[in-house]
Chain A
Amino acid sequence: MPDRPERLLEQVAALAADLGPALAPVGQLDLLRSITAAARELFDAAACSLALLDEAQETLTFHVASGAGAEEVVGQRVPVDRGIAGWVVSSGQPVAVADVAADPRFAAEVAEATGYMPRSVLAMPLQTEREVLGVIELLDQRADSLVGRRDMELLGLFANQAALAIEASRVFSSLGQALFQALGMAAAGDRDLAASLDELARRSPGPAADLAELAGAFARLGQVGPAERAAATRLVRDFLAYAGGDGRPS
């Protein structure tokens, strides 16, 4: 283990990148599966599917589905500039359509995106206060479902929970990225690493700010002195040993 703080931090960043997804309480796909299965059950629908926006925010990709047509819908991609899902993510407003077949063009789109021809669709945006993540769709809800007439409102609350869970899950996968970004900024300029990490923390919106702050703490820890640095190194080694599957820290 080299004793230069920069080298150490590089390793910390790499470690964080690896550890992030590993530390996530549940994998992103498992999380999405559980969300759609729960929504379908709670709202008594024939099917439930969930699509997330890609990074460029131009396409929605259906990642998971539960119920009728589920196999066909997974992997389907729809552009955000058409269809009911597109309008929902663009406007941030939910919409329900009762007689999908009334509009042949619309019906074809829905059938393509859902894998089967539903009579009704309820599309709800998945959004937090920070961003719109995607859309959750319920197909053919039973009229006398358990949640009854306030289902649109309740699905909204459910979708908010789901969106927060997805956002939280993404934090883990971007843990290393946040550190690497900071390291990149430090390497490119002539600035103090801790200062640039702090700057990243200030500039990043949402949960990434917390991560950058954490990274900033790492950076300062690396600079406090040889004894502290040695302690930090030991800690990282132990983590590495643990993460590498060598069992408990020695």
Chain B
Amino acid sequence: MKPAWSWQFEAGRLAPATPLPLPSPITAEWAWGGSRGAGVRVAVVDSGIDAAHPAVGEVAGGVALHYDPEAPGQVRAVEGPHEDLFGHGTACAGIIRSLAPEAELYSVRVLGARLTGKGMVFAAGLRWAIDHGMQVVNLSLSTGKRDYFAVFHELVDEAYFANVMLVCAVNNVSGPTYPSQYASVFSVAANEATDPERFDYNPAPPVEFGAPGIDVEVPWLGGATIRATGNSFAAPHIAGLVARIVAKHPGLTPFQVKTILLSLASNAAAPGGPDGDRHLLLR
């Protein structure tokens, strides 16, 4: 079972990525070694987070957003604790927690009872994350509606200039989806890796990163753990690593973080050399 876009990360298909020929190479130890993501604010824009799940731990805060034609902007926001309606937000939070145990998790619940107005609710969730100082935002959802192209483009640009790292799962549809399509986000599809810290850089985007998302063990509702597949489970792996990098190197910009990730991708070739598995040499 492989989600859409995963084929790009299959062994033999993935071209080598060429890191910057720096005088001293970027290593995993330098990038995130010893970092547990302490103090980094990470938002999960999804179905809520079950804070009672042992794999999730404390949820620092959050907001539940829903469509309300009477509310300003047609979206009503209820700050504070809320449950996970489906289990998916908990799964993403658990993956991030496993990689960055000391990150501050925030739940931005945008998936709820009704589908009416969900694009507006989704955009409002992203707006909330930017306005509330989130440093990493995990978005395991996207919209293919062209109407939202400009809305999300504006939000994504704003996030970029505020050094907010937007990590987006790519959708299964053949056409573009927003915001995963934009160049400044970290777009992620599932690869076949089982090591949670092993990821790929795709030199032929739009999908830039491959991370584990096939048959991964994830927390779910009611304290359970399930084995699930989807690009939506790949994104939080990158979000977790980004949180660790940002915790260790405050003030990095999204393009700097992408440069670091490219250097540490499993398919990063030694600069000027043949396609060596640099990733393994540096660990």
Could you tell me which A residues sit within 8 Å of B by CB distance? 53, 56-58, 79-84, 86-87, 89-100, 102-106, 122, 124-125, 127, 129-130, 132, 141, 149-153, 156-157, 160
Contact = CB atoms under 8 A, between A and B. Distances in A.
7 contacts: A90-B112, A90-B141, A91-B46, A98-B227, A102-B220, A129-B146, A153-B5
B86 A84 contact: yes
B161 to A, nearest CB: 27
Contacts of A97: 226-229
Contacts of A93: 140-142, 169, 171-172, 230-232
Interface in B188-219: 215
B115 A91 contact: no
Contacts of A152: 1-4, 6, 172, 229-230
Contacts of A90: 47, 86, 111-112, 115, 118, 141
Contact of B229 (A79, A96, A106, A157): A96
Contacts of B226: 97-100, 102-103, 106
Nearest to A128: B144
A103 B222 contact: yes
B162 interface: no
Contacts of B5: 153
Given A92-B171, A95-B230, A129-B146, A57 B86 contact: no
Nearest to B146: A129
Interface residues on B, range: 35 or more
Nearest to B231: A93
B221 interface: yes
A108 B197 CA distance: 34
Nearest to A87: B86
Contacts of A149: 1-2
A81 B85 contact: yes
Interface in B1-58: 1-7, 46-47
Nearest to A95: B230
B173 A81 contact: no
Among A80, A89, A141, A151, which residue has the most Cβ atoms of chain B within 10 A? A80
B1 A58 contact: no
Interface of B: 1-7, 46-47, 85-88, 111-116, 118, 140-146, 169, 171-175, 177, 215, 220-222, 224-232
A99 B226 CA distance: 6
A59 to B, nearest CB: 10
A97 B172 CA distance: 16
7 smallest A-B Cβ distances: which pairs?
A: A103-B224, A153-B4, A91-B141, A87-B86, A96-B229, A57-B115, A156-B172
B228 A96 contact: yes
Contacts of B224: 102-106
A91 B111 contact: yes
Contact of A80 (B6, B113, B144, B227): B113
Nearest to A152: B3
A98 B215 contact: yes
Nearest to B225: A102
Nearest to A83: B86
Nearest to A105: B222
B202 to A, nearest CB: 15
Nearest to A123: B230
Given A89-B115, A96-B230, A127-B173, A106 B1 contact: no
Nearest to B223: A103
Contacts of B229: 95-98, 122, 152
Nearest to A131: B145
Contact of B2 (A81, A91, A150): A150
A241 B174 CA distance: 45
B192 to A, nearest CB: 9
A91 B172 contact: no
Contact of A127 (B3, B114, B144): B144
A92 B7 contact: no
Given A99-B226, A153-B4, A58 B169 contact: no
Given A57-B115, A95-B232, A153-B7, A87 B1 contact: no
Residue of B1, B145, B175 with highest tally of chain A CB at under 10 A: B1
B155 to A, nearest CB: 18
Contact of B111 (A87, A95, A150): A87
